[in-house]
């Protein structure tokens, strides 16, 4: 893909894929990696064969690492960039995210990208944009995961990507009024991404 400015400067991007793009958010259930899934003991990986046979240029993986912020940030502060699926990139990636991408790629024969942006043990309030917090029930009592902090640092920077939808997988440790707060989270993310029909 070659981009040319009016002044004639150009940039060429290689290995570009067009297809499905999804964001994997939530708590530890979304962050649980392929290499953390054991069969009985830690010496036996449950998905070793899946990892070993994972090479697929049409599956793209992107991990956003932990970053909290008092204010919304425009850029991803800490990530390992886009990688094609292969054993070294699939092993540390979200198991739920990888299996979703693999299924979609096999079913529709299109490239599938998943952006993993999640953190274990976090309350839903920290993932909600400030714009919906006045409607939320309760608030985060953890200073590190204060209201909107992980949204500001890990989701807001992604708002310009054209994602088909969000894979939300949360343990619901803060289950009080979760139905109300989850609805507000969806409302806030759809507004931030500018897509009312975002899945």
Q: pLDDT tens-digit profile of 91-148?
A: 999 999 999 999 999 999 999 999 999 999 899 999 999 999 999 999 988 899 999 9
What average pLDDT score do residues 32-59 get? 89
Whole-number Cα distances in Å, 179 to 112, 147, 184, 186: 29, 17, 9, 11
pLDDT (0 to 100) of residue 172: 64
Long-range contacts of 120-125 (CB under 8 A, 24+ apart): 120/27, 120/28, 120/31, 121/27, 121/28, 121/173, 122/27, 122/150, 123/173, 123/174, 124/170, 124/174, 124/178, 124/181, 124/182, 124/185, 125/174, 125/181
Percent of the chain with pLDDT over 70: 97
More confidently predicted of 61 and 179 = 61
What average pLDDT score do residues 152-169 get? 96
What average pLDDT score do residues 49-61 get? 97
Res. 171: pLDDT tops 90: no
pLDDT (0 to 100) of residue 175: 75
Res. 154: pLDDT tops 70: yes
In tens, the pLDDT along 13-42 reads 999 999 999 999 998 889 999 999 887 766
pLDDT (0 to 100) of residue 173: 66
Which pLDDT band holds residue 43 (cuts at 50, 70, 90)?
Answer: confident
In the beta sheet, which residues pair with residue 94?
Answer: 33
């Amino acid at each position: 893909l070659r981009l040319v400015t009016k002044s004639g400067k150009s940039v060429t991007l290689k290995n570009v894929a067009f297809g499905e793009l999804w964001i994997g958010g939530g708590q530890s259930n979304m962050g649980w990696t392929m290499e953390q899934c054991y069969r009985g003991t830690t010496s036996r990986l449950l998905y070793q064969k899946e990892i070993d046979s994972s090479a697929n240029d049409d599956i793209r993986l992107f991990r956003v690492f932990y970053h909290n912020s008092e204010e919304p940030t425009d850029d991803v502060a800490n990530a390992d960039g886009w990688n094609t699926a292969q054993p070294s990139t699939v092993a540390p990636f979200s198991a739920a995210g990888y299996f979703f991408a693999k299924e979609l790629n096999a079913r529709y024969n299109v490239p599938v990208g998943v952006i993993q942006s999640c953190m274990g043990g976090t309350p839903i309030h920290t993932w909600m944009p400030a714009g919906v917090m006045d409607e939320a029930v309760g608030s985060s009592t953890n200073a590190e995961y204060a209201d909107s902090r992980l949204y500001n640092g890990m989701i807001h920077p992604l708002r310009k990507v054209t994602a088909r939808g969000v894979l939300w997988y949360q343990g619901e440790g803060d289950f009080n009024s979760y139905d109300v707060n989850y609805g507000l989270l969806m409302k806030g993310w759809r507004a931030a991404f500018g897509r009312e029909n975002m899945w």
